[in-house]
Structure 1
Amino acid sequence: MDFENLMSCILVILTLIAHFGLRLTFYNRVNSLGWPRKRIKLVEKIAFVETWMTPLVIFAVFFPAVSEFAFTNGSWRELPAGLVIYSVLCLFLGGVFFALWLLWRPIFGVQHADVSRTSRCIAADANATQRYAQTRKCQWSSRVPCNQMFDLAIENVEVRLPGLPESLEGYRIAHLSDIHLTGHFTPNFMTDVIGHALDWQPELFALTGDIVDVQQCIGWLKQIFAPARASDGSLFILGNHDTRVSEPDEVRREMIEAGWTDVGGSALKHSLRQTDVLMVGNEAPWFGRPSDSDMTAIASDLPTDTLKICLSHSPDQYDWARRHEIDFMMCGHTHGGQGRLPLAGPILSPSWHGSRWASGDFYRAPTTMHVSRGLGGVHLLRINCRPELSLITLRRSN
């Protein structure tokens, strides 16, 4: 094979890679939308079929032209015009999205926040797996090589905030996210997670959504979450998976009866160590978030240097938080990508920004954002992406 043949083959391969990469980009974006689940699943199924049918049809219909181009010094001019246009679009758009994807790889640390992070893993042994796995499917999944779904990572994260009041130096927040009570796990897993958090003696619990996936698990909420007590309260919001139960308001009522405070869609004054802060709950786009007028009204009643903290299910609300000068934002939703490649990090992420904010700590003035990998998931598989209990300590920035 001479050089021209080699380059032609490379172009065909790159076009195929770009084709599949663009479909992955589409998948990430469609799952960030606030559409009903049935509509998203329908779109996903159509997109899945199209993803595989398009190259198969192209090769079936234009195989002689493509093979001649790739292997016998064929020319672009000899290919059908429609195929050339589609290939050029794939290569161009694929190149643009690949460059952006590469820019935001965790290894480069672009726009990452100034934090100190230490991690301790509690690996699940056979006894723990037996205690946590409720269904046969879950038991089988736990035996998949490299599956870390029960290997809890306790992440101690020290976050430096420029606007942190001196009275809140060293403030401790236990951040939980993406519990996903599907009935595959027993309540024991989350009970143990909360036990580990309580051992740390947090001053505040914060839960950023996706609590319940199936109706029958609503009855577990008091058992799991009632023990989670902190001196300054336990706050929660809902996420997109909480829309999958027949009545999400039941989740809210059960959590409130368990002693938690619902801050979803609201902005309110809250006391941390007897210091007033503005606490905001953003459940967009699936439920609500405070209106601009609500944010202005509540902020006008507080000093201008009041610390502003936001619980948001999705990191896609980052720009909204920055517009409203939120100091610290805690999120989940993206599960760290559910799987992470060495060096490259996550690929899948249900976000309008792809895997840019799949997990970690980020800073874009004036907002520092912490994104948890979450604790559960509908898909019983975590590869190089352990469930995360975030134990956050707030520090004053130097």
Structure 2
Amino acid sequence: MEEWINGLILLILAIGHFELWVTFINRTHALPIHEPTLKKMRHITYVMLLGFPLVLFGAVGLYSPGVLVGGEWSRLSFWWKPVFVLCVLGFLGFLVSVFRHLFYRVPRLQTESHSEMIDIREKLGHELIGDGPYHYLAGLPFNEIFCVEFSRKTFVMERLPAAWDGLTILHLSDLHFSGTLTRDYFGELCRIAGESQPDLIIFSGDLLDEMHCLDWLDETLEQLEAPLGRYFILGNHDWNQQSEQIRTALTRRGWMDVSSQTLQLEYAGHSLLIAGTEVPWMGEHPVLPAQRGEGAADFLLLVSHTPDNFYWACSQGYDLVLAGHTHGGQVRLPVVGPVFAPSVHGTRYTSGTFYRKKTLLHVSRGVSGIHPLRFLCPPEFSLLTLRARPVVET
């Protein structure tokens, strides 16, 4: 019985160690570090994730002091003790992450949510795997990469003008054109998205992983239309490519770049401000017109590639923030939830809707990724309907 208890302790320590390295990889991938360096970091992390449990169970469990075969913890070498303290702290962090996932509740401002699962491969009836990076992952069993969720969510916004009640926004994020998933996949997805006839379209970054796919725009994003316009920012994967060429290609096709700036448009007698930020990879946070002594808009919308800018957006008084970047974690474990998420907040804002200080954040799981692997975390694009808060008569 004692050996079983010792085995459980070693397992807890191994999980804690795993959490520490996951924390390291999540936080570093939220920083402006180029992909070659990040790739080296990932390789080191994989070695540590696999190697430490083997050393732990072999050295401590079976060899010295051999707690799995009758040995005593008191014989443990001193240098193991600080390592175990760190592992315990890591395990506590793991528990916090799991409980936060299990007890997540959508904000009350989200009053409706409906989803439609669309199997793009079944719908088109032909192969959609190309020869791009990591294409072998796309064909793995149980991979949900081709089963896209079209989510429709309704938000009641406190400052939304009554004249805008029912305003719809198509939120797209993280297309990651690379050739791994064929052009037909994205073309069909954009065709379905366009049928929703939104008032406004927002793309929150990460368009390309391979520059040769830039001409895919003609059959994908260019076919989308909205009466109030199409707006975009770029993401960290675009930053790793030729970002200015990507930006130019989108603007030539009628998309409006809001990165590091604000655009104000008049609609139904009220002003809507749309701002964008690509921080920490490119540019700076936009300065609101009110901070320059100009007139304030009736409603403030921020497009941010990463949800890490949420707290900044709250401090600036934005009403709605649309973000992506984290892909929902791509792989979610039962009970545990997402594990890997490139964010300074870890998995806290991996996907979904969050509310803080009168600012609502919507994080999309995105459409694709450089690693075409999804498990319990299907790709997503969303139609968001904004409703004005009813006026209470006194």
Q: TM-score, normalised by structure 2?
A: 0.91
The question of whether the paired residues in 1 share the 8 Å contact of 2:301 and 2:321 is answered with yes
Distance 1:110 1:6, change over 3 A: farther
One-letter code aligned to 2:77: P
Aligned residue number for residue 313 of structure 1: 305
1:279-318, aligned counterparts within 5 Å? 279-290=274-285, 294-295=287-288, 297=290, 300-303=293-296, 306-318=298-310
Cα distance in 2 for residues equivalent to 1:244 and 1:59: 40
Report whether the alignment pairs 1:153 with 2:153.
no
SS in 2 for 1:156: strand
Distance 1:136 1:252, change over 3 A: closer
Distance 1:66 1:275, change over 3 A: farther
Q: How many residues of Structure 1 are paired with residues of Structure 2 in the alignment?
A: 389
Aligned residue number for residue 77 of structure 2: 80
Distance 1:199 1:30, change over 3 A: same
1:1-398, aligned counterparts within 5 Å? 1=1, 4-57=2-55, 63-67=62-66, 69-72=67-70, 74-75=72-73, 77-95=74-92, 97-105=93-101, 107-109=103-105, 114-126=110-122, 128=124, 130=126, 132-135=128-131, 141-245=137-241, 247-273=242-268, 275-290=270-285, 294-295=287-288, 297=290, 300-303=293-296, 306-398=298-390
Give how far 1:389 is off: 1.5
Distance 1:192 1:125, change over 3 A: closer
Cα distance in 1 for residues equivalent to 2:72 and 2:217: 65
Summarize deviations over 1:349-371 as a string: whole Å, max 9, x none. Answer: 11111111111011111210001
Summarize deviations over 1:188-238 as a string: whole Å, max 9, x none. Answer: 222222222221111111000000111101122233222211101000000
Distance 1:139 1:241, change over 3 A: closer
Cα distance in 1 for residues equivalent to 2:30 and 2:379: 21
Give how far 1:122 is off: 1.4
Which shifted more, 273-282 or 323-332? Answer: 273-282
The question of whether the paired residues in 1 share the 8 Å contact of 2:19 and 2:90 is answered with no
Cα distance in 2 for residues equivalent to 1:361 and 1:340: 17
Which shifted more, 253-262 or 342-351? Answer: 342-351
Q: Unaligned 5+ residue runs, structure 1? A: none
Q: Unaligned 5+ residue runs, structure 2? A: none
Cα distance in 2 for residues equivalent to 1:158 and 1:229: 21
Which shifted more, 43-52 or 281-290? Answer: 43-52
Cα distance in 2 for residues equivalent to 1:229 and 1:92: 50
SS in 2 for 1:70: coil
Give how far 1:127 is off: 6.3
Give how far 1:132 is off: 3.0
Distance 1:377 1:289, change over 3 A: same
Cα distance in 2 for residues equivalent to 1:55 and 1:194: 45
Cα distance in 2 for residues equivalent to 1:157 and 1:93: 35
Summarize deviations over 1:280-301 as a string: whole Å, max 9, x none. Answer: 101111112335xx22656642
Summarize deviations over 1:289-338 as a string: whole Å, max 9, x none. Answer: 335xx2265664223x6211000000011011001011000001011111
Cα distance in 1 for residues equivalent to 2:137 and 2:71: 49
Identity %, equivalent residues: 31
The question of whether the paired residues in 2 share the 8 Å contact of 1:171 and 1:203 is answered with yes
Cα distance in 2 for residues equivalent to 1:136 and 1:29: 27
Which shifted more, 97-106 or 251-260? Answer: 97-106
SS in 1 for 2:120: coil
SS in 2 for 1:226: helix
Cα distance in 2 for residues equivalent to 1:142 and 1:55: 29
Of Structure 1 and Structure 2, the greater helix share is in 1
Give how far 1:141 is off: 4.3
Cα distance in 1 for residues equivalent to 2:209 and 2:183: 14
Summarize deviations over 1:343-397 as a string: whole Å, max 9, x none. Answer: 4432221111111111101111121000111011111111122211100100123
The question of whether the paired residues in 1 share the 8 Å contact of 2:132 and 2:178 is answered with no
Give how far 1:28 is off: 1.3
Q: TM-score, normalised by structure 1?
A: 0.90
- Give the root-mean-square deviation of aligned CA atoms: 2.4
Distance 1:311 1:337, change over 3 A: same
